[in-house]
Structure 1
């Protein structure tokens, strides 16, 4: 598979410091024609799960041959391996800490390479900035057409990431809030295909924390301003929202946030019906 010349960047570096710009400078020094796209640099520091989810959500919309450079790396300088993964039509460059596991799991087979060829790194490798010294130069060389197999050795055991699963029964689904977006919408891990399998769209009953919502709407404006609703978001997952407000504020105190249980059931199902572990 040939690379497209597009390199995306996903990090927990934020935009206040020079780290992202330095990585881009390294890439452009190797491949001046690279097309650099920021997915986000707002991952919570060290939050591998959040980085993995956002990368998984975004990667499928990029052309075949895109290189996804991702650095959420609390183990930098330690025993974790630097990786290049060829997964489906994407290349993934970053740490072996589970960050790429959802994308690896989604394809029939993936080629996983432990990056060991120092000729494709910067001459001096720091203990604290592998994004600059290893991952950015590897992405740049890969975009120039370097054979992935020249970059290291094949491995078969990438780190797996434990993610919350949806429990299913005939009448109900149980999942949880996995992300709160900047609008305060609660993004769950319950996919529209899971809900369709219940055969109760759009009449499903949704329980999130102490709140119950009747029915799944099509738009935010389908309820009055300040009204709470459930809908299927652009990524295909169930969202809990407040029209022109923030669903994340409904829990009081620290607010409703990640990990809050979410239940989708047929209208006649009771709060504990039909769920097994």
Structure 2
């Protein structure tokens, strides 16, 4: 039986995304396992404030954060409403980075970014862990797998390779693009009320002079930065996270347009 607690041979950085919040001991317990099994690997808390069970938002946090890590980092994402069910435990390799997650759509946005991709089903790795709670795989299964990979382990030693296109995709992860129009979904509403869409930066081409019509009752001027908009005016811009945003200068687009994560938005412009 494979031991996931073997002596580390590498020290890859670990990134951590969960919907656990900070009011309970769950995050601390996951990090305790990581520090015990991979003591030389730095752990970066990306976010533990994913809305409970909100896989789409967790997918966005993962895709937006991965480029800022070292090329060989291991990112663990645990937004797992199906914990204990027959959903797969998978690792996606993109180039030299590893992404450990339940196969429920969390990896969907990463799949659109290209690169050298390979996926493995690590569900059987649960058998290599001595004690597993039916309701806390993040601590008892995902964390040991992540520590093992960060310490130099290889996913092919834990489970079979599976087709990348067999990984679960969420309906809201891909926009519908047509000439002069797009149907997008809100991936995230940030602290300022900016609504991040599942439209990659650059997908609309040059933004100069572009005006976007919406069924939300107002037009959006495409701009480069928030300050290009008069105060209280809505606009569309390429945000810092690599995706397009609907924003209101010194206001809240989510409040003004009544938008929430998962909502769809139809955009139209002169092609």
TM superposition score category, shorter chain reference: 0.7 to 0.9
Distance 2:259 2:148 in 1: 44
Does residue 78 (structure 1) correspond to residue 99 (structure 2)? The answer is no
Aligned to 1:112: 120
Distance 1:241 1:128 in 2: 38
Query: What SS class does the counterpart of residue 54 from structure 1 fall into?
Result: helix
Does residue 49 (structure 1) correspond to residue 56 (structure 2)? The answer is yes
Distance 1:203 1:36 in 2: 43
Aligned residues of 1:3 and 1:66 also touching (Cα < 8 A): no
Query: What SS class does the counterpart of residue 92 from structure 1 fall into?
Result: strand
Count of matched residue pairs: 258
- Could you report, residue by residue, the CA deviation over 1:201-226 in whole angstroms, capped at 9, with x for unpaired residues? 31111133433335322221223332
CA RMSD of aligned residues (A): 2.3
Segment of structure 1 superposing worse, 125-134 or 149-158: 149-158
Aligned residues of 2:226 and 2:249 also touching (Cα < 8 A): yes
Tell me the TM-score normalized by structure 1. Answer: 0.84
Does residue 173 (structure 1) correspond to residue 182 (structure 2)? The answer is yes
Aligned residues of 1:80 and 1:97 also touching (Cα < 8 A): yes
Does residue 249 (structure 1) correspond to residue 255 (structure 2)? The answer is yes
Does residue 88 (structure 1) correspond to residue 91 (structure 2)? The answer is no
Aligned to 2:150: 143
Tell me the TM-score normalized by structure 2. Answer: 0.86
**1:180-199 equivalences in 2 (<5 Å):** 180-196=189-205
Distance 1:85 1:172 in 2: 32
Structure 1 spans left out of the alignment, 5+ residues: 270-277
2:265 to 247, 258, 261: 261
Structure 2 spans left out of the alignment, 5+ residues: 1-8
Distance 1:172 1:250 in 2: 22
Aligned residues of 2:93 and 2:119 also touching (Cα < 8 A): yes
- Could you report, residue by residue, the CA deviation over 1:103-162 in whole angstroms, capped at 9, with x for unpaired residues? 2453343132324235753x2111000001001111112222223222223333333333
